[in-house]
Structure 1
Amino acid sequence: MAYDAEDTKRRIFDAAAIEFAEHGLAGARVDRIAAAAKANKQALYLYYGSKEKLFAAILGAKLEEVGRCVTIDPDAVAESVGQIFDWYREHPELIRLVLWEALEGGGQPDAYERGLRDGFRAKAGVLVDGGVARHLPEGARLRAAQDLVFTIMSLVAWNFAVPRTCRAILDEETEQAAFARRRETVIDVARRLASPAEPRE
């Protein structure tokens, strides 16, 4: 059978995503990634350059994926937030990767982050065009919509970042019960946040 470079890259990527989500950048081991991918370490370095670059590639791909999937419909905020909640629940590795990056990474904004920023700015623009924050002066609407997007994503993501705390605070016996309760609450809060503010007297 001929060597399939793309398949090898994909297997390394998939195995590394699991390894990094479990152990972070510092704790991940190239030997374990190569073994899980059924590839040799040289292939990892050939295709990705280093463990650090591989981690960055995986995190970037996962954030691009959530950027594509996280869409808040200004006419159906509650439904959108429910879909986002379900997406995060189905992709728990993203939260772990982002938390590891926050603990071990950082640094100045790079070209990738600037591209991500542009994508989320466009999402906020859709909300503004849909009437979100229309009670504010025109110059403040985009910033308000950006705050709304980040707040909603935070309301959703924190449930999966600290599931034990979620279960304990809500006094639920199972994660399933806690998540179901939190899903309803997050949807309700998002609906309220997206509602036009009452005019002040």
Structure 2
Amino acid sequence: MAYDAEDTRRRIFAAAADEFAAHGLAGARVDRIATAARANKQAIYLYYGSKEKLFAAILRAKLEEVCASISIDPDAVAESVGQIFDWYQEHPELIRLLLWEALEVCGEPGEGDPERRAAFGEKVHHLVDGGFARHLPDDARVRAIQDLLFTVMGLIAWNFAVPEMCRLVLDEETYPAALARRRETVIEVARKLATTPDASLPPP
């Protein structure tokens, strides 16, 4: 059978995503990734260069995946937030990767920073083009929407970052029950933020 380089890359990527989500950058082991991917370590270094670059590539790809899967509709922000909430629930590895990044890589410029910044910028300008917060001057409008976007991201992500706290604070027996409540609450908060910008967005 001929060697399939693209299939090998996919296997390495999938195995590395699981390894990094479970152990972080420092705790991940290239030999475990190679074993899980049914590949040799040399292939990992050949295709990705280093463990750090592999981690960055996986995180960048996961963020691109959610950006491509979900678009925030300026006329239906709350509904879009519900879809994003569901995406995070179906892909718990992204939150774990982001938490590992915050613990181990935060503060260090990354190779994928320009692409990630541009992707978030596209989301902001999509809302600008859709007429969101049109009562504000252009510069203040962009900054207000950036703040809104990050606030909404926090409202969603925190539920998955601290599942036990979510369950205990809401006094639910199970985490799924707590998540169901949180989904409704997050959507309602997003709806209020989107429909009352004067009260919810910071002044310029």
- TM-score class, shorter: over 0.9
TM-score of the pair, normalised by structure 2: 0.92
Q: Could you give the per-residue CA deviations for residues 144-176 of structure 1, whole angstroms, max 9, x where no partner exists?
A: 111111111111011111111100100011111
Aligned 8 A contact 1:71 1:80 in 2: yes
User: Which residue matches 1:94?
Assistant: 94
Q: Single out whichever of 46-55 and 85-94 deviates more from structure 2.
A: 46-55
2:12 match:
12
Unpaired stretches in structure 1, ≥5 consecutive residues: none
User: What TM-score, normalized by structure 1, do the two folds share?
Assistant: 0.93
- Map 1:1-201; keep pairs closer than 5 Å: 1-110=1-110, 112-197=112-197
- 1:137 Cα deviation from its structure 2 partner: 2.5
SS of equivalent residue, structure 1 residue 127: helix
| Residue 202 of structure 2: aligned partner | none
Shift of 1:40: 1.2
Deviation at 1:111, TM superposition (A): 5.4
Measure how far apart 1:119 and its partner are: 2.1
1:71 & 1:148 partners in 2: Cα distance?
Answer: 15
| C-alpha contact (below 8 Å) 1:134/1:196 kept by paired residues | no
Moved more, 71-80 or 181-190: 71-80
- Cα contact 1:135–1:196 (8 A) shared by 2: no
RMSD over aligned Cα, in angstroms? 1.6
Superposition deviation, residue 197 in structure 1: 3.9
Q: The residue matched to 2:148 in structure 1 has which SS?
A: helix
Distance in 2 (CA, whole Å) between partners of 1:119 and 1:32 is 32
Asked if structure 2 preserves the Cα contact closer than 8 Å seen for 1:132 and 1:196, the reply is no
Aligned equivalents of 1:111, 1:42: Cα separation in 2? 22
Give the conservation status (yes or no) of the 8 Å contact 1:133–1:196: no
Question: Does the 8 Å CA contact 2:60/2:116 hold for their aligned counterparts?
Answer: no
Percent identity (aligned): 72
Equivalent AA in structure 2 for residue 116 of structure 1: R
Q: Which runs of 5+ in 2 are unaligned?
A: 200-204
Q: Provide Cα deviations, 1:46-75, integer angstroms capped at 9, x if missing partner.
A: 111111111111111112112223421111
Structure 1 range deviating more: 10-19 or 54-63:
54-63
Per-residue deviation, 1:78: 1.4
Residue identity matched to 2:150: F
User: For this pair of structures, how many residues does the alignment match?
Assistant: 199
Deviation at 1:23, TM superposition (A): 0.2
